[in-house]
Structures are given as structure tokens and as C-alpha cells.
Structure 1
Amino acid sequence: MKVAFLGLGVMGYPMAGHLHKGGHDVCVYNRTTAKAQKWVAEYGGSYAETPAKAAEGAQIVFACVGNDDDLRSVCTGKNGAFDAMDKGTVFVDHTTTSAEVAREMALEAEKRGLSFMDAPVSGGQAGAENGTLTIMVGGSSESFEHTKPVQECYAQAVTLMGDVGAGQLTKMVNQITFVGAVQSISEGLAFAEKAGLAPKKVIDVISKGAAGSWQLSNRGYTMVEDKFDFGFAVDWVRKDLGFALDEARKNGSALPVTGLIDQYYKEVQRMGGGRWDTSALIKLLRD
């Protein structure tokens, strides 16, 4: 297919690359044009200097940008993609945003005869680079079936969760769950260190039992080594937790542990760790 991809950050850059490797005709857009030029030099395809130019003639338009306002900008802002997309075209948003802005963009798309899907991803930079992301989708079943085979260029699982907004709500569940795991691992490993145990040996043992998890196996060892200059940044997870906490206030959910961990991440930011990996929570228990 002829597709457009808007946003070439640490996730979007390799995701767009997988689309090209999958045989699709890809036109990319990035706010910093030099990044788009670099992508074309590496993969081929083409680039455009505005979202609208990238979206012209595209059968599917993908986006992976920073936040709610960034999404509004590439969709309906000056030279936004919606104004250039052909009627019936699907816009697939991989940004982690609020469910509210997903519904807002879906209504704007409908006015123009377009279809909008919220499709946040999980798996981090490594998942994007390896093409093994998990995608949780909100939208119509027709749009889902049309876009699923293309999304599978960079995903191991693509699942329709419900109407527009359901993808973002599911991503909130993902974030709520994984930060709880990171905090518990931090406490366990800090305890192991103070108890005089060999922390890496502890990870080797407990990862094979009921305490095993992706976070323990993939972040436990680097936590012990005090390495955090990689991965999913603290600044980003606080953005995501903000969406979850706001939504919880609206639907009456109780998120006492999540709210507490959000404040712990705020302390990490005060330490200068806004760009550290989320596993940096353990530093609060050491320092």
C-alpha cells in the first residue's frame, strides 16, 4: 500500500522502517526535516515537509507523536493530514494520548468522511526495532481489519479492544500494571542488597518462579548495575500516568498505589532523572 507515517521518534523511526521492509510505499513526515531525510537515506521511500503533503494519496496514515497537542497538530492543525486525506482513508494513531483526544479526533475525522483509530503500543524501543510490539486498538471493526495486516509489519499482536478510546484505556491499564511491577522489583532488589545477598543470583532464581515477569528479566540486572541511561523515560511514564489518574477521577476508579508511584517518579525527576529509564525507581531506595 501507499502509506504515510507521521513522527520519527525512537518508536516511529523503526516502525516506519518495518513498513518499508514489508513492501509498502512509505512517505514520512517529522517536525525536524533532517530526521526524515536521514530515514529516507537509510530505508528509501520519500519524505514530506508537512503532514498534509505526506498524507496525499495515502491509503493509510499512521502517526506516533508526543502528546495530545502534537496529535491535534498533525491531524487538524495548519497543513494537517486530515485536510489532505481522501475520503474513506483510515488514520491510525500509535501515540499514547488521553482517550478524550482520541474521541475528539475521531469526530473530526468523521466530519471529513475519514476513519480514526487509536492504537497505542507496548514493547518499548526494543519492540519497535524488533517488530514485536503489542498494539491495543480502538475503532471500527472494518477499519481494524483493513489496517491490521499492515500494522503486523511491526507488531506481534494487534487486538481490537472496542470503540475509539478503548485502545488508550487499555494502554492506561498497561501502564498502571507495569509501574506497580517496577516498584515491587525495586523494593525487592534493594532489600536483597541490604540483606547481603547476591542480587543477580536472586534474579536468576526468582525469575523462574511466581515472581517472574518481563520487567524482572529485562530490567532487574541493569537495576542492580545502576544503569538507567536507556529505555522508557521517566518523563514519558509520568505523562502516561497523568492520563490514567485523570481517567480514574472521571470513572470513579481507585488508584492509590499508582498515585503514590507517580509521586516517586516525580522525585526521580527532581534528582535529574527525567530521561532515565523507569527502572530508576530503585535509586530512591538507595540514595
Structure 2
Amino acid sequence: GTVIVDLSTTSVAEARAVAASLADKGLVFADAPVARTRQAAIDGTLSIMVGADAALFARIAPLLGYMGSDVTLCGEVGCGQVVKLVNNTLLFEQVAAIAEMMVMAERAGVAPETLIQAVGLGSGNSFALQTHAKKAMAPRDFPAKAFPMAYALKDIGYTIELAEQMGVEPRLPRLVSEYYQAAIDAGIGDKYFPAIIEVVDRK
């Protein structure tokens, strides 16, 4: 039968509701949100997180392999969204933490480039530090049409919703959402989300 694969990021509940609705019509559904950078999309090296049964995954994985170098079966329908939301929320939290630490360190006399180099040699190293901090936050270079604050806030909202449904208190997601909302309120909501450092630096 016809298979529909959704590569967008949605709430888990929405993905599962769509799957149920399509099943009533004889259609098969998988959620397969993607991660990594714009360049990864161009190069076909995305990470794709799939929610589907094993048989369906075996059918669609070769096709997804043209877009992604890492295609992971995360569980049943909706589980691709679970993993994507965890991935994104961890990234947004890390970027917010780096923004605070970078502004603090710079005001205390440590240049951002030096901070990234030194922390990168220790246990504080991360993908966010080496990518978002190094390429965007330190030079304050926030390219147009990159992932904006509003998208970050949307994904964090989905994570908060899921955490509450699962009986987990989402304290950190709620806290970090305040930063991204503050960026939108400050009129920089259309900027690439690491520009959250500008919110921190205004205080």
C-alpha cells in the first residue's frame, strides 16, 4: 500500500493521530524528522530519526539513505518525534548555557575564541560549542534564513507538552523557553537561534 513519510518536526501526539487517521484509509505512515545542519541537507548527510514498525523501516530506510548518512529506527510511530524533540531541546538548552557562560567569561576578560578553544579541550566540549558557539556566537554572525527563535520555541513547546504527558516536570525546557521568548519580544525572533546571546548580553 501507499506509504507516507513525514520529515517535519511535530508533536508526538500529532504524529500518532495522523498515523491512526491514515490507517483508517488504508495508508501507512512513518515519522522521520531530520537533524543536523543546512549543509548536511545539501550533502545528504542528515541524521534521520524514524518512528515505524521494523517491516516498514526496512522498506523506507534505503530511500532515506539518499538524504541521510545516519538513519535510525527509534521505535513505533511517534518515536522519531520523541528523539528529535530530545535532540533539539538539548541543543537549545546547551546554546542558552553557552550564551550565559560566554558573556560572563568575556566580561571577566576571556575572549570568546579563547574560551571555545580551552573549553573544547575539556569536559565542557560539545557539538554546540564547536558549531554554534564557534561559527555564530563568537563572531556574532547569524545568517539569514537559518533556524530562527520561533522554530526553537515551537520545538521546546512540543517537548514541554510531551514531558507533562509522561509525568515529567520539564523545568529546564520551561526555563530556556523564556530566553527564546525574550528574544522574540526583543525583536530578534527572526534571527538564527544562537543569537540568544544578544539577549544575555543586553542585561
Instruction: Tell me the TM-score normalised to structure 1 length.
Output: 0.67
Alignment of 1:95-114 (within 5 A): 95-114=8-27
Separation of aligned partners in 2, 1:207 and 1:126? 23
* Cα pair 1:203 1:217 within 8 Å, conserved: yes
Residue 112 (structure 1) shift: 2.1
Residue 196 (structure 1) shift: 1.2
- How many residues of Structure 1 are paired with residues of Structure 2 in the alignment? 200
Separation of aligned partners in 2, 1:155 and 1:208? 29
Residue 102 (structure 1) shift: 0.9
* Cα pair 1:140 1:164 within 8 Å, conserved: yes
- Give identity over the alignment, percent: 34
Q: Does residue 1:286 correspond to 2:196, yes or no?
A: no
Q: 2:78 aligns with which of 165, 171, 187?
A: 165
* Cα pair 1:140 1:163 within 8 Å, conserved: yes
- 1:188-225 deviations in Å (ceiling 9; x for gaps): 21112101112102212211321111111112132122
Q: Does residue 1:265 correspond to 2:188, yes or no?
A: no
Partner of 1:186: 99
- 1:6-37 deviations in Å (ceiling 9; x for gaps): xxxxxxxxxxxxxxxxxxxxxxxxxxxxxxxx
Letter in structure 1 aligned against 2:29? F
Letter in structure 2 aligned against 1:225? P
3-state SS of 1:248 partner? helix
- 1:108-152 deviations in Å (ceiling 9; x for gaps): 221222210011111132221121111111111111111101101
Alignment of 1:45-124 (within 5 A): 88-124=1-37
* Cα pair 1:124 1:232 within 8 Å, conserved: no
Partner of 2:113: 200
Partner of 2:149: 234
Q: Does residue 1:247 correspond to 2:162, yes or no?
A: yes
Separation of aligned partners in 1, 2:45 and 2:186? 33
3-state SS of 2:69 partner? strand
* Cα pair 2:47 2:71 within 8 Å, conserved: yes
Structure 1 alignment gaps of length 5 or more: 1-87
Separation of aligned partners in 1, 2:122 and 2:53? 40
3-state SS of 1:246 partner? helix
Query: Which of structures 1 and 2 has the bigger CA Rg?
Result: 1
Q: 1:128 aligns with which of 41, 48, 56?
A: 41
Q: 2:60 aligns with which of 147, 167, 174?
A: 147
- 1:245-282 deviations in Å (ceiling 9; x for gaps): 11112111121111011011000001111121111121
- 1:42-100 deviations in Å (ceiling 9; x for gaps): xxxxxxxxxxxxxxxxxxxxxxxxxxxxxxxxxxxxxxxxxxxxxx1211100100111
State the Cα RMSD in Å. Answer: 1.3
* Cα pair 2:30 2:77 within 8 Å, conserved: yes
Letter in structure 1 aligned against 2:110? L
Alignment of 1:37-48 (within 5 A): none
Structure 2 alignment gaps of length 5 or more: none
3-state SS of 1:92 partner? strand
